[in-house]
Amino acid sequence: MTGPFFEPVGTCCVMKVDLLRAITSSVGSKFKILAQALATLLLFYPFMLHAETDCLSCHSDKTLQDAAGQSAGLDIDKFHASIHGSVSCTDCHTSIKEYPHAEQRTTVKCDTCHADQASAIGGSVHAKANAHPCTSCHGDTHSIFPRSDARSAVYPLNIPRTCGTCHASETLAKKYGLQNVYATYMDSIHGYAVSKEGLLVAANCMSCHGSHNILSHKDGKSTTSRGNIPETCGTCHAGVKDEYSAGVHGKMVASGNTKAPVCSDCHTAHAILQPTEATFRMQTTPICGSCHKDQLATYRDTFHSQLGLLGGYVETARCWDCHGAHGILPASDPASPVNKANLIKTCGRCHADANASFVQYQPHANPHNRKMNPALYYTRLFMNILLWGTLSFFTLHTLLWFIRAKKEQRKSRLAAEEKHD
């Protein structure tokens, strides 16, 4: 490059100093400070450009390597297009004071400019995960783009792949005791929306875990802590969160009950399926039954459950078909779908001919509970007595018949032996 800004220090600089003195002396005191700042910038800008030109004269060679064999070159076009393209080299490489400089590689301290982000990482699970956690996620410092740029490693559609660099590694999984959640996420409804549909609004890793201050799910301040999961999921699923919060489960969580079910208990954390999928429908009953054991036992005795178990029929009524999925209310609540006043409508979703007699059916009738279901209790007792009595009678009858048969066989054999003698 040539021109007045790239001339060596000497006559040109002396002329500029004289010019700047003339400028500052010609303005009033009100603008003197501004004029002096402008004069200083004009005086030293050539040296700044000299420094950048000197750095890039060598490092623009993409094949350049240092003594350790590591790349020391960079892509000029990417660098100038990146967010650091306007930053001076020595702003980051502060140990380099002169040109040419000794061959050395020092760690760049990102916290010089990004203090808040560095502080957040320092208290996160990634604090000691890598020698340089910033570049692990954002990539090469010379080609970092805004997160709104599709070339960025933290662009919404690229985040799963960026996080998967570590969380899909078997080596790192063994070292840090991690689960390979990348594969399950990519097969989930969220992963499909990101990788196949390209939806920027679809939930990615950062949507749930955050970006810099990522904490363990055991930490109460973590976005994935049990108590915070409804709010985290509600960031996208606002309508569902409102329904859940109004239901019995949401109220239990709000009251501080740590055992109350949250979103991830029913939908899991990473392998989230479309609710209309057969696989999801088939697994919902055992999920509900993991808490409601008595209700699961009585449900398994019903036609609904037997049909589902024998043929895997996915349209058979499951728990949430009757009780609702998110805004679950007690049967005593007038708004509950299993309230007596609403049963005809609820059952009528599947059974078009449902009427007052039809809804007398008890889906959770317990034949072991005499107080709640006396008729069923005594019917079961009678049938059991009849069954065991019948089996006992015929077992005894068969045993006595067997003994008699053996005696008859013995008599016949002795009679045959006497006749032969």
Domain ranges (residues) in the chain: 4-108, 293-365, 367-412
Which carries the bigger pLDDT value, residue 228 or residue 19? 228
Helix (H, G, I), strand (E, B) or coil at 65: strand
- Spatial contact of 185 and 270, defined as CB atoms under 8 Å apart: yes
Predicted confidence at residue 9, as pLDDT, reads 37
**pTM over the 0.85 mark:** no
pLDDT (average), residues 104-118: 85
Which carries the bigger pLDDT value, residue 26 or residue 313? 313
Average pLDDT, the chain: 84
Q: Which residues contact 137 (CB under 8 A, 6 or more apart)?
A: 153, 154, 162, 163
Predicted confidence at residue 326, as pLDDT, reads 93
Digit-coded pLDDT (tens) for 185-195: 999 999 999 99
CA 410 from chain centre, in angstroms, equals: 78
Predicted confidence at residue 13, as pLDDT, reads 41
Helix (H, G, I), strand (E, B) or coil at 283: helix
Q: How confident is the model at residue 25 (pLDDT cuts 50, 70, 90)?
A: low
Digit-coded pLDDT (tens) for 172-187: 888 888 888 899 999 9
Digit-coded pLDDT (tens) for 233-282: 999 999 999 999 999 999 999 998 988 999 999 999 999 999 888 888 88
Its sign, for the CA torsion 296, 302, 303, 307, is positive
Predicted confidence at residue 323, as pLDDT, reads 93
Helix (H, G, I), strand (E, B) or coil at 394: helix
First-to-last CA distance in the chain? Answer: 136
Q: Is the pLDDT of residue 414 over 90?
A: no
Q: Structure tokens of 325?
A: 């999925």
Predicted confidence at residue 128, as pLDDT, reads 81
